[in-house]
């Protein structure tokens, strides 16, 4: 069974969150503030904001960062990897980390330096 959750935050033709059985698929989250402006402060600020946005999307399906199983980070400049990784580690703190792949891309929409997609696993009650 598939459930699409429209948070009214999409800046294109996509669904921000799809729940399919026990899995949640989160579309790319960027370093946008509530007014859809890219946050100032470079890759570290974009990373923290994108992860906060990811956390809010997961919350719409009663999930948390602890439910993440896989994350993909797209960087417009692979030279930003170390700073992105440091901010990512700080954000997750002592949580168990999901798998992660980081990919360098030629460009990202709207001038973003980072976009994060994710998959989470949240068993439905009584299915474990």
The C-alpha R_g of the chain, in whole angstroms, comes to 14
CA contacts within 13 A on the Cβ side of 6: 6
* The two structure tokens encoding residue 13: 């033709």
16/28: higher pLDDT:
28
Ranges of each domain in the chain:
2-121
Res 10 pLDDT > 60: no
CATH code at 2-121:
3.30.1330.40
Mean pLDDT of 102-113: 96
Spell out the alpha helix ranges (H) of 64-111: 81-92
Give pTM, 2 decimals: 0.90
Q: Contact at 8 Å (CB) between 88 and 58?
A: no
The model's pLDDT over 58-106, given as tens digits with 9 standing for 90+, comes to 999 999 999 999 999 999 999 999 999 999 999 999 999 999 999 999 9
> What pLDDT does 123 receive?
84
> What pLDDT does 126 receive?
61
Gap between the terminal Cα atoms of the chain: 17
Give Cα 91 to chain centroid, integer Å: 12
DSSP letter (8 states) at residue 35: T
The model's pLDDT over 31-66, given as tens digits with 9 standing for 90+, comes to 998 888 999 999 999 999 999 999 999 999 999 999
């Amino acid at each position: 069974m598939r459930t699409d959750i429209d948070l009214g935050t999409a800046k294109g033709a996509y669904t921000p969150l799809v729940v399919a059985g026990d899995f949640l698929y989160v579309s790319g989250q960027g370093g946008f503030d509530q007014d859809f402006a890219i946050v100032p402060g470079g890759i570290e600020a974009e990373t923290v904001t994108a992860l906060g946005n990811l956390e809010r999307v997961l919350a719409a399906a009663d999930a948390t960062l602890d439910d993440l199983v896989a994350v993909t980070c797209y960087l417009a400049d692979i030279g930003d990897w170390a700073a992105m990784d440091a901010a990512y580690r700080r954000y997750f703190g002592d949580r168990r980390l999901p798998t992660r792949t980081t990919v360098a891309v030629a460009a990202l929409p709207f001038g973003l330096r980072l976009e994060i997609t994710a998959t989470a696993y949240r068993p439905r009650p009584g299915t474990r």
